[in-house]
Amino acid sequence: MLTIGHVARRVGVRPSAIRYYETQGMVRPTGRGPNGYRIYTNEAVKLLLFVKRAQSLGITLREIKPLLNLASQGQPPCGHVKQLARTHLQQIDEKIRELQTLRNVLRALLRRKVGRPHANEICPMIERSTAKVE
Amino acid sequence: MLTIGHVARRVGVRPSAIRYYETQGMVRPTGRGPNGYRIYTNEAVKLLLFVKRAQSLGITLREIKPLLNLASQGQPPCGHVKQLARTHLQQIDEKIRELQTLRNVLRALLRRKVGRPHANEICPMIERSTAKVE
DNA sequence: GTACACGTTAAACCTAACTTGAAGGTCAAG
DNA sequence: CTTGACCTTCAAGTTAGGTTTAACGTGTAC
């Protein structure tokens, strides 16, 4: 039996963010106290941690929501969830590949000597980098 | 000698985006035609491609700008640029690690059987996922 | 000479994901 | 019984990164 502040601290977000998630249909308090305070259980904490993890992956709230909605509707949605997860897995793989390419470009740039600008280059760093893009 | 539309097509953005970059101090046309049209050279295309590449890395325009500013100020800024690049390289490495962790979680989830919800789980997918976060 | 694409500006609008502010109620400590 | 931390709602503000619109000039093809 947690108040919004407790949940917020455990999840690492502000109470205002949780209220915002509620407006977006992401979480709902288990109930309300006689004082009107939102009351949550640990399930909410788990759910929000899932949301945060997904977010840190670059998945938007809009994309996360259907996962949660399906999940809250009983048994067989998991098949659909699985399909969504598969799609996201592919996107993540692609993101990783892109980042590795960038990483390699940056590493190559860092290996270059400093202070020896070539003719016709604003800065070797930029020229070399863009050269690989073109 | 390119107009904004030419540059935009080569870089893969809209002219409005280039004007926006200009307001943000990212690019400036080499000059203006007698008609008032912005005139760019290939340098601008290179620079913008660099910007796009950096952006696709998750680097913000605000972070990219000092790199360009330093680059445009002559010879020795490359040392500073290098330091910034080093920092970004570390951030990219961390992002890649995070994504790989997520990727592994998703893959593990996808290997699980569908339609066999365990007791006390909203959906195995979510429960398993969040379990690793806690 | 009239479409039609392209260029100019300034200002307004957009989405995501929140935060902040105002105006107020609640609760535990001293 | 007041102080301070925490809660409520609703509305408005924020940041990033642009896009859209209005009102207008330009350049080219038929």
Instruction: Tell me the pLDDT tens digit for each residue of A3-60.
Output: 999 999 999 999 999 999 999 999 999 999 999 999 999 999 989 998 887 787 677 8
Pick the closest to residue A30 from A41, A22, A20, A19 (CA basis).
A41
d(CA A23, CA A1): 21
pLDDT of residue A45: 94
> What is the CB neighbour count within 10 angstroms for residue A52?
17
**Interval B53-63: pLDDT, tens:** 778 767 788 88
B56 CB closer than 7 A to any strand D atom: no
d(CA B70, CA B95): 26
Distance B6 CA to C4 C1' (A): 18
pLDDT at B125 over 50: no
Segment B98-109 shows an average pLDDT of 76
> Does A1 lie at the interface with B, CB-CB under 8 angstroms?
no
Percent of chain A with pLDDT over 70: 68
B11 and B49 Cβ atoms separated by less than 8 Å:
yes
Q: Select the more confidently predicted residue: A54 or B76.
A: A54
Strand ranges in A16-82 using DSSP code E only, listed in sequence order: 31-32, 38-39
Model pTM above 0.75:
no
pLDDT of residue A21: 96
Query: Which of the residue ranges B28-37, B42-51, B121-130 would you say has the lowest mean pLDDT?
Result: B121-130
Tokens standing for residue B79? 């040392």
B51-55, B108-112, B119-123: which is most confident: B51-55
Q: How confident is the model at residue B30 (pLDDT cuts 50, 70, 90)?
A: very high
> Does A53 lie at the interface with B, CB-CB under 8 angstroms?
yes
Pick the closest to residue B6 from B48, B35, B34 (CA basis).
B48
